[in-house]
Structure 1
Amino acid sequence: MYFGAHLSISKGFASAVREAISIEARTFQFFTRNPRGGQAKALKQEDLDQAIELREAHQFGPIVAHAPYTINMAAPKEETWNFARQTLAADIERMRQAKIPYIVVHPGSHVGQGLEVGIEKIAKALNDILKPDQEVMILLEGMAGAGSEVGGRFEELAAIIERLDVPEVVGVCLDTCHLFGAGYDVQENFQGVLQEFDDVVGVERLKAMHFNDSLQPLGSRKDRHAMIGQGLIGAEALAKVLQAPALRNLPINLETPGEIDDYRREIAWMKEVTAEAKI
């Protein structure tokens, strides 16, 4: 397993890698561009080269990019849908240059069009931009199911993937808080949740995890992250999540609402509970 946290690349990729090293992380996640806007910062090859060298020297696992929240591949408005498609296509090329293997993206919200229409639009957007030989894999994120979100159920993720021309370049990122909000009982039966995911989607598509406690109860359909042990899932249950064999060798990133020192403590705890289980 590779433990990390969501970090900023505002000062460059190499700076983010150094910050990850300072908290004993061996992966991290970052936004490809402003999460609430459309502007992308220009990449500098010297910075990318330094970051790659540091990652190799410190035996980092896969780094995970996260697409901005403004992307909605299920949008009813043509302008918004085109923005999502064009932005994701541009970010795939930028991440290829940075040697980032994964981009996590929220599937989208159908905004009243209906689930089936939303799924069809998401699949069409992906079919327009994905290529069999691309080096960057898109990871559809499992959602909490709030409002008109698509992706709150494993069946919805599977339905998108089934409609793809090149499904081999698409995987899934699961989030412990989202799962709990969507009604998947990660607290009492994470192995059962993984088995259901395997039955519906295929566990081989699970490429990354977001690791968070939840402020909201099971099945709330609300996405409210909490620091580990300060939510309703609890540290004991989350320790068992980390000990699941299916998560071995995955990048597992914190999105908890703490500061950098909190990330350091949480990563130390993650290493401790997996070491105890000899993971």
Structure 2
Amino acid sequence: MIKIGAHMPISYGFEKVPELTVEIGGNAFQIFSHSPRTWRAGLPSKESCEKFKIFMNKCAIPFQNAFCHTGYLINLASPKEDIWTKSVQLMIIEGKICEMLGIPYLNVHPGSHTGSGEREGMQRIVRAIDEFMKNTSNITLLLENVSPKGGNIGYKMHQLGQIIKSVSYPDRIGVTYDTCHGFDAGYDITTKEGVTKLLDEMESAFGLWRLKMIHLNDSKAPFGKPLDRHENIGKGYIGDEGFRNFLSFSQIQSVPWILETPDSKDLYKTEIKHVKSLLGLIE
């Protein structure tokens, strides 16, 4: 059975997320632990955490299908010491929120060196991850591949592999693959050969076992153009045939798929149905 869901709102409370996920036809989800555009994050109440766990079990959603995404302001590669420090502090709080909720995965963009150079940026990322690991437990940090723009680090699989090999706690590092970001960076998933090449590169760079989540996004930009513009599935340059090809691989089907597409009027219910139809799971 495939594992599919979407980025869900927490405005109704953490405990409402599992129920909403089932209502839209999902069995996996991703959330923010707080408003993603602020540096502030508070720990949830014990009551809220207990309700969340009760509803996870009630809705039969495995905790391995639950993911949290870090806030937008975090930049682990920032050369500005105040930004770097605030980024690490916020990510640690987000990790503690995950611990309280029982969510095992925290997803993060590695960061942008903002012109200071990839080597120095990567060193700051490694240092930030080590600080996070020392201050949290039982949380796997997922490094997400990014679009090659604005000094971003982590748009190629070997860059993610280099980070993983450099940290002090590699066993607690996983990877998220974003289809839009990858398309920007030159990974063509519209062909069998392209997907095979991507999977081989993942295996070589960090081991396919580390792939824990896929962000399922079409692209408003053509192949190889780094704009980072998500589009609804089938309406972008990857297209329905491209996703039908990508999603047909057993290695891809073993990983939860999370939609982050722009049009979510019905909380992705229609789009989840559309993705399932590409695989012939529904008429």
> What is the aligned partner in structure 2 of residue 160 from structure 1?
163
Contact 2:217–2:233 (8 Å) recurs in 1:
yes
> What is the deviation of 1:156?
1.1
> What is the deviation of 1:135?
1.1
> What is the aligned partner in structure 2 of residue 74 from structure 1?
77
> What is the aligned partner in structure 2 of residue 97 from structure 1?
100
> What is the aligned partner in structure 2 of residue 247 from structure 1?
252
The share of aligned pairs that are identical, in percent, is 33
> What is the aligned partner in structure 2 of residue 27 from structure 1?
28
Query: Considering only aligned residues, what root-mean-square deviation do their CA atoms show, in Å?
Result: 1.8
> What is the aligned partner in structure 1 of residue 228 from structure 2?
223
> What is the aligned partner in structure 2 of residue 43 from structure 1?
44
For structure 1, which segment, 201-210 or 239-248, has the greater mean C-alpha deviation from structure 2 after superposition? 239-248
Q: What are the within-5 Å matches in structure 2 for residues 82-121 of structure 1?
A: 82-121=85-124
Contact 1:136–1:169 (8 Å) recurs in 2:
yes
Opposite residue 8 of structure 2, the aligned amino acid is L
> What is the deviation of 1:187?
1.6
Q: What are the within-5 Å matches in structure 2 for residues 259-274 of structure 1?
A: 259-261=264-266, 263-274=268-279
* Structure 1 CA distance for aligned equivalents of residues 240 and 31 of structure 2: 25
The reply to whether residue 6 of structure 1 matches residue 11 of structure 2 is no
> What is the aligned partner in structure 2 of residue 52 from structure 1?
53
Per-residue CA deviations over 1:189-213 (Å, capped at 9, x if unaligned) read 2222111221222111101010010
> Helix, strand or coil: the match of 2:37?
coil
**Deviation above 3 Å: which 4+ runs of structure 1?**
272-277
Contact 2:29–2:66 (8 Å) recurs in 1:
yes
* Structure 2 CA distance for aligned equivalents of residues 45 and 133 of structure 1: 18
- TM-score, normalised to structure 1, is 0.94
Opposite residue 185 of structure 1, the aligned amino acid is D
* Structure 1 CA distance for aligned equivalents of residues 227 and 208 of structure 2: 24
What are the ranges of 5 or more consecutive residues in structure 2 without an aligned counterpart? Answer: none
> What is the aligned partner in structure 1 of residue 216 from structure 2?
211
> What is the aligned partner in structure 1 of residue 145 from structure 2?
142
> Helix, strand or coil: the match of 2:97?
helix
> What is the aligned partner in structure 2 of residue 127 from structure 1?
130
Per-residue CA deviations over 1:22-70 (Å, capped at 9, x if unaligned) read 1011111111222111122441222222222222232213211000011
Per-residue CA deviations over 1:65-99 (Å, capped at 9, x if unaligned) read 00001110111111000011111111111110000
* Structure 2 CA distance for aligned equivalents of residues 74 and 133 of structure 1: 20
> What is the deviation of 1:269?
2.4
- TM-score, normalised to structure 2, is 0.93
Contact 2:43–2:97 (8 Å) recurs in 1:
no
The reply to whether residue 186 of structure 1 matches residue 193 of structure 2 is no
* Structure 1 CA distance for aligned equivalents of residues 57 and 120 of structure 2: 43
What are the ranges of 5 or more consecutive residues in structure 1 without an aligned counterpart? Answer: none
